[in-house]
Amino acid sequence: MKNPTLLVVALVLLVIVLIPTTQSIKLLLVLLSVMVLLYVKRAYIYVMLASRALNGPKKDEPKAWAWYEKGAFTPLPSHYTLMLNSLFLQKGDPHVALRISDFVIQREQKKRKPSSDAIISAKISKAMAKWIVGEKEETISILQEMWDEGVRDPALLTNYGIYLIESGKLDELEKVIQEGVDQGQQSAGMLDNHAHYLFLQGEVKAAQEAYHSLFEELEVPFCEAYYHAALVELELQNPQRAKQYLREALSKPITQLSSVTEQQILSLLQSVHSTEVGDIEELTDELFDYDMFDDALPNIELDDDDDIEPNIELEEEDLYDYEQQEEPQESVEPTLESVLFSEDEYDDEE
């Protein structure tokens, strides 16, 4: 049954209608039933009021977060409570997220049939909240314990890998990456961890290929992958492609959970831009230093290699060539008379 509450309400109303009593008593019973329903579903009302305060025409964030917190600690399905917990992890108070995580874990453990998925998600959320508030060793400890218990959830492999990278524990990270490969679980986050691991190990070309495959095959909704890919391209002297990745990173949501900040992305983008501008200015300076219209006199100074006196001595071969030269023949210019009165023309007249 997708909506058991609706079925219960329908049965209650049917019973009230069938009761042999007066209309006023039936109306009173209906009102009482509605009040009970509103009390049971009050958490949804709190969430609705929070969303209205946060997204309405008159925004009131403090009131919105207060309603969200109140809704999280009232009876709700665990997956819904964890969705509210995710809001506090991304943009709200991480200390409230810690309390919500513990609340879900304790409530599930008291059930006859606890949801293992809900408990795993709540523990991972707790670890992320610990990381945000600065308790990084506690974060690693929680995830390490889950790892030792045999949990191989994709969210665990992704977040555990991220925090191992941030902690510089690359040896443990290699095991987590290999486990993900063996399990056939290759989410975008896990692939980003693998490519970034290759980069940190100095396998820059392999990291570049890994990021190319990642962006071609999957839709990557987080900024970290593009930021890490930009680092790879900068290492390979590809600033234009690096700038494209950094701009793409800025277009993705950046929250408290992000392992890179907006300021980091902007600083790297500015650094790439400044480097390119510096290269252009250096080239421009070199061109201006070279004066193509320099009117300076040519170099007429004599070096050691230059002969001070010209060679005017005649060798034997030169004398022989001189004797063999023929005397020039005198050219005879025709007289005016011969040109005007040629013999042929005179014969024609006769």
- CA gap 155, 120 in Å, rounded: 9
3-state secondary structure 151-213: CCCHHHHHHHHHHHHHHCCHHHHHHHHHHHHHHCCCCHHHHHHHHHHHHHCCCHHHHHHHHHH
pLDDT tens for residues 5-43? 667 767 777 777 777 877 788 788 778 877 877 788 889
The H-or-E segment that residue 135 falls in is: none
Backbone angles phi, psi at 60, to 5 degrees: -145, 85
What integer pLDDT is reported at residue 335 of this predicted model? 43
Residue 310 pLDDT grade (very low, low, confident, very high; cuts 50, 70, 90) = very low
- CA gap 150, 120 in Å, rounded: 12
Distances (CA, A) of 45 to 41, 48, 116, 339: 7, 5, 28, 127
What b/e readout covers 72-94, taking b as 16+ CB neighbours within 10 angstroms? bebebebeebbebbbbbbbebbb
What integer pLDDT is reported at residue 237 of this predicted model? 94
What b/e readout covers 190-222, taking b as 16+ CB neighbours within 10 angstroms? bbbbbbbbbbbeeebeebbebbeebbeeeebeb
Q: What is the mean pLDDT of residues 168-184?
A: 87
> Do residues 210 and 198 touch, judged by C-beta distance below 8 A?
yes
Smallest CA-to-CA distance from 222 within 277, 184, 265 is with 265
- Please give the residue that has the higher pLDDT: either 104 or 13: 104
What integer pLDDT is reported at residue 342 of this predicted model? 44
What integer pLDDT is reported at residue 33 of this predicted model? 75
Distances (CA, A) of 290 to 281, 284, 293, 300: 14, 10, 9, 21
DSSP 8-state secondary structure symbol assigned to residue 256: T
Is residue 192 predicted with pLDDT exceeding 50?
yes
SS3 314: coil
What integer pLDDT is reported at residue 260 of this predicted model? 94
What integer pLDDT is reported at residue 182 of this predicted model? 82
- Please give the residue that has the higher pLDDT: either 328 or 116: 116
- CA gap 311, 304 in Å, rounded: 16
- Please give the residue that has the higher pLDDT: either 13 or 315: 13
> Do residues 222 and 258 touch, judged by C-beta distance below 8 A?
yes
What integer pLDDT is reported at residue 28 of this predicted model? 80
Is residue 349 predicted with pLDDT exceeding 90?
no
> Do residues 157 and 179 touch, judged by C-beta distance below 8 A?
yes
Residue type, 277: V
- CA gap 245, 269 in Å, rounded: 10
- CA gap 220, 189 in Å, rounded: 8
What integer pLDDT is reported at residue 290 of this predicted model? 39
Length, in residues, of the chain: 350
Name 13's Cβ contacts closer than 8 Å, sequence gap at least 6.
Answer: 30, 33
Token digits of residue 212: 């190319």
Quote the longest CA-to-CA distance of the chain. 163
pLDDT tens for residues 111-140? 999 999 999 999 999 999 999 999 999 999
The pTM assigned to this predicted structure is: 0.71
- CA gap 86, 320 in Å, rounded: 107
Q: What's the count of helices (H) and strands (E) in the chain, helices before strands?
A: 18, 0
Average pLDDT, the chain: 81
> Do residues 146 and 172 touch, judged by C-beta distance below 8 A?
no
136 CB neighbour count, 10 Å cutoff: 15
Token digits of residue 182: 């063996």
CA 202 to chain centre: 20
